[in-house]
Amino acid sequence: MGAGRVGPALAASLQLAGHRPVAVSGVSDASRRRAGQLLPDVPIVTPAEVLARAELVLLTVPDDALPGLVEGLAETGAVRPGQLLVHTSGRYGARVLDPALRAGALPLALHPAMTFTGTAVDVQRLAGCSFGVTAPEELRLAAEALVIEMGGEPEWIAEERRPLYHAALALGANHLVTLVAQSMELLREAGVAAPDRMLGPLLGAALDNALRSGDAALTGPVARGDAGTVAAHVGELRRHAPQTVAGYLAMARATADRALAHGLLKPELAEDLLGVLASGTDGAEGETR
């Protein structure tokens, strides 16, 4: 239910595994187009009708909309006993489905740790994708089976740890997009004709190194304690892209803290660097506002 970017891809994956999609719900034109592309010939109906037709229901709506949707479906009697009700929210565990559980449904929280485009490529990307899974113990095998059928790998997350789990993914994936987009804009400003081609190998190597080695992969002027270079960066950003200064300084401070903690940044070099980061300037261009 819900023909955003996630729902049709998961339903298409389950279809490849032998399940038969019987209905989908979508309101916007974009949602209906996605459903038509990934789930051709599957009728688009109301949410209540989806529940009336399906034994397994995917609730793929935004996090903030999920509690209200579940409560509404339960209150109207749309939920049937024995029906598998699966939501894909990273924030919530199975407890958000308690109204449906009281109506006899079987609650599962299956969150794919993947970014979605709303196209057929998403189905391919689910192969080997980790899913954050939270469910009652008696539904553990059912949850694992569904994830495996979609080509994924189940990773069990305790109910109370779901918000932390989701924050970790957002910190890494969502902010990465912002950082890369800003970096590409700055490279264009610097005259680079193909920023994506320049960044691709560099960022791919950096990600691989970070996943393999963690903080030991830190490099660059902050980790080295090159205060003068960092000050020059801040000055250039102030002139050409002032909207990026706050983010640069915040990430540089976080990098400096981690480099210090892991012995990569020498304490005698850290003082000048941290002074630059505290003021956001090399001392000649005014104060950070």
What ranges do the domains of the chain cover?
7-157, 165-279
Distances (CA, A) of 273 to 24, 93, 216, 266: 55, 42, 19, 11
Confidence of residue 2 (pLDDT cuts 50, 70, 90): low
For the segment 42-95, what is each residue's pLDDT rounded down to a tens digit?
Answer: 888 888 899 999 999 999 999 999 999 999 999 999 999 999 999 999 999 999
CA dihedral 68, 174, 222, 286 (to 10 degrees): -70
Distances (CA, A) of 214 to 16, 25, 195, 207: 37, 42, 26, 10
pLDDT of residue 287: 38
Residue 282, pLDDT > 60, answer no
Residue 118 in tokens: 């709303």
Considering the chain, what percentage of its residues have pLDDT values greater than 90? 81
For the segment 216-263, what is each residue's pLDDT rounded down to a tens digit?
Answer: 999 999 999 999 999 999 999 999 999 999 999 999 999 999 999 999
For the segment 165-174, what is each residue's pLDDT rounded down to a tens digit?
Answer: 999 999 999 9
For the segment 93-129, what is each residue's pLDDT rounded down to a tens digit?
Answer: 999 999 999 999 999 999 999 988 888 899 999 999 9
pLDDT of residue 3: 57
Provide the CATH number for the domain formed by 7-157 in this structure. Answer: 3.40.50.720
For the segment 160-214, what is each residue's pLDDT rounded down to a tens digit?
Answer: 999 999 999 999 999 999 999 999 999 999 999 999 999 999 999 999 999 999 9
Residue 215, pLDDT > 80, answer yes
pTM (2 d.p.): 0.86
Residue 5, pLDDT > 90, answer no
